[in-house]
Amino acid sequence: MALPEPLIRQTPLGTYCAAGDFYIDPQRPVRRAVITHAHSDHARWGCDHYLATTSSEHLLRMRLSNDADFQFAPYGQTVHHHGVQISFHPAGHMLGSAQIRLEHRGQVAVVAGDYKLGPDATCASWQPIRCHLFVTESTFALPVYRWPDADQVFESINRWWRDSAAAGKCCLLYGYAVGKSQRLLAGLDTSIGPIYTHGAVEKGVQAYRDSGVKLPETRYVGSIDGKHDWSGSLVLAVPSAHGTPWTRRFGAVSTAMASGWMMIRGPRRRRATDRGFVLSDHIDWPGLLEAVALCDPDKVWVQHGYTAVAARYLCELGRDAVSIDRSGRRGEEEEDGSEIDTAPASPPDRGDATP
């Protein structure tokens, strides 16, 4: 008796489900794409049809334009396509991020996309899903990556802002435009001072607000005309703005980067900011091991990051685990706002032009 064809397989275009004839987070345009989340390395322009979570709608329309052919489904609802049952389940990575559960002829596969364990005020928390095959990321899959408590990180950020404000400085806090910046914004203490945003960040903030996420009041930097006193304020900006002429308007500043890479001295030094705060929207090493244990799959595929290290260690734990790509370590979210267009899509007082 012939063995059943695997429910998914890896192709040059990405993860492919032959039974349903669709790709998950394809690398190039395809006819049908099922999307884990709205970051541009997962939701790519040019596909004929997109299926994604309802809560990611505003972000995807911002990324891919309103002209794209979208289909949205809420978490937990099953979409039937060519005999394949497709459902989305919270991944905890960012607003609308999802693990994609596929079921066909008794096989269950879960493609986790990017995910993290633990609470986040701006998105639904990750949930374990029992499956036969679990496809996990491994962006930070080294034992050195162990995230501190997020509440303590936010306390440190707010203390840095408060101390800098007392010294008459403006704080520039760098985080990726979509996902990280909104999470940072939700954790800021607004009693310290006003909060401003880089254009790319403000566009993401507006999409979060349109999706129903409550965030502190912000003002777009570009909406400020003439001379302005920036002392005591905090500006959320993308990492690519650091050290550019755009930052000169703020006068005396203190700079900081929020990223999982701040755990390691080398990346901290290369960023050349005054402070580095360890805050990631990806799983750390203990989180990956916990996720695999809770999902308890027969097989684990490891992708996007330190794949060989994670797969080898999971095998030592008795898991059937393999590395399914050779892409190597990649940047956290890789979202610096450089791909965001400069056409305004909102009223003048919260414009979105990237300076």
pLDDT of residue 287: 98
Q: How far is CA 332 from CA 34, 123, 149, 280, 344, in A?
A: 21, 18, 19, 8, 27
pLDDT tens per residue, the chain (355 residues)? Answer: 344 678 999 999 999 999 999 999 999 999 999 999 999 999 999 999 999 999 999 999 998 977 789 999 999 999 999 999 999 999 999 999 999 999 999 999 999 999 999 999 999 999 999 999 999 999 999 999 999 999 999 999 999 999 999 999 999 999 999 999 999 999 999 999 999 999 999 999 999 999 999 999 999 999 998 899 999 999 999 999 999 999 999 999 999 999 999 998 766 666 789 999 999 999 999 999 999 999 999 999 999 999 999 999 999 999 999 999 744 334 444 443 333 322 223 322 222 222 2
Q: pLDDT value at position 5?
A: 72
Q: Please report the pLDDT score of residue 94 as a whole number.
A: 98
**242: Cβ contacts below 8 Å, ≥ 6 apart:** 172, 174, 255, 257, 271, 272, 273
pLDDT for the residue 345: 30
Phi/psi for 163 (5° steps) reads -65, -40
Provide the pLDDT for residue 159: 98
Please report, as a single letter, which amino acid is at residue 11. T
Q: Tell me the C-alpha distance between 158 and 200, whole Å.
A: 22
Q: Report which secondary-structure segment, H or E, holds 182.
A: helix 180-186
| Closest among 286, 192, 180, 283 to 236, alpha carbons compared | 180
Specify the pLDDT at position 264: 85
What domains, with CATH codes, occur in the chain? 9-144+281-323 (3.60.15.10), 150-280+341-350 (3.40.50)
Q: What pLDDT sits at residue 338?
A: 33
| Alpha carbon distance 29, 48 (integer Å) | 8
Which two three-digit tokens encode residue 256? 């900081």
